[in-house]
Amino acid sequence: MDAVCLVGFMGAGKTAVGRALADRLGWPLYDLDEEIETREGRSVYEIFAESGESYFRQKEREVLGQLAGGNMVLSVGGGAFTVDDNINLINKISSSVWLRCPIEICLQRLSSSAIKRPLFSDPTQMANLYQHRLKYYKRANHHVDGDKGTPAEIASEIMELLDLKAEQK
């Protein structure tokens, strides 16, 4: 089993590191949010606004459950790895890697991000959500700092940790 799943809070760098890692490995990148958006024909922001958070959570579970195995880099939204069934499934089909990143850095990145995030709110609420979620993120198989180094450097660190070799180009 060589799939790698990146988990962690919004702004931890899952998408950027996921791209760098998939590129180095020559593996497909599967972004759960993007997959849901494609299937739904609307953005995550619109899904939350029009159908509510619980509908989105249900889609996360559904799409995760339909994932084929095999080599891939999987990146999941910050709330996906906070549900027992999802955590168990992700840890079964992949090596999960928590991109650990201080809330201050996540908030900085989020405030300069072009992506509209439905749960992005005031710093106190975000910090509470972050604290609440740490216990879930800690259940990832590996923990890597998401604020130390460029996405390419963090991808290299993950490859070393999991003993994965770069694709020969």
- Tally of CA atoms within 13 A in the half-sphere of 163 that contains its CB: 1
CA distance linking residue 93 with residue 138, whole number of Å: 17
The reply on whether position 10 binds ligand S3P by CB under 6 A is: yes
- Tell me how far, at minimum, the Cβ of 36 lies from ligand S3P, in Å: 8
**Which of 77, 146 has the CB closer to ligand S3P?**
77
CA angle 146, 148, 156 (to 5 degrees): 80
Q: Which DSSP helix (H) or strand (E) runs through 145?
A: strand 142-145
**Which of 78, 151 has the CB closer to ligand S3P?**
78
> 95: which residues sit within 8 A by CB, 6+ positions away?
1, 2, 3, 4, 5, 141, 142, 162
Greatest extent of the chain over all pairs of C-alpha atoms, in Å: 46
The reply on whether position 146 binds ligand S3P by CB under 6 A is: no
- Tell me how far, at minimum, the Cβ of 85 lies from ligand S3P, in Å: 16
Site track 31-60 with ligand S3P (rule: CB under 6 A), x = hit: --x----------x----------------
Site track 101-120 with ligand S3P (rule: CB under 6 A), x = hit: ----------------xxx-
How many chain residues bind ligand S3P (CB under 6 A)?
10
Task: Provide the 3-class DSSP secondary structure of residue 142.
Answer: strand
Q: Residue 22's CB: how many other CB atoms inside 10 A?
A: 22
**Which of 31, 157 has the CB closer to ligand S3P?**
31
- Which range, of 76-84, 99-107, 145-153, 159-167, touches ligand S3P by CB under 6 A? 76-84
Binding site for ligand S3P (CB under 6 A): 10, 14, 33, 44, 77-79, 117-119
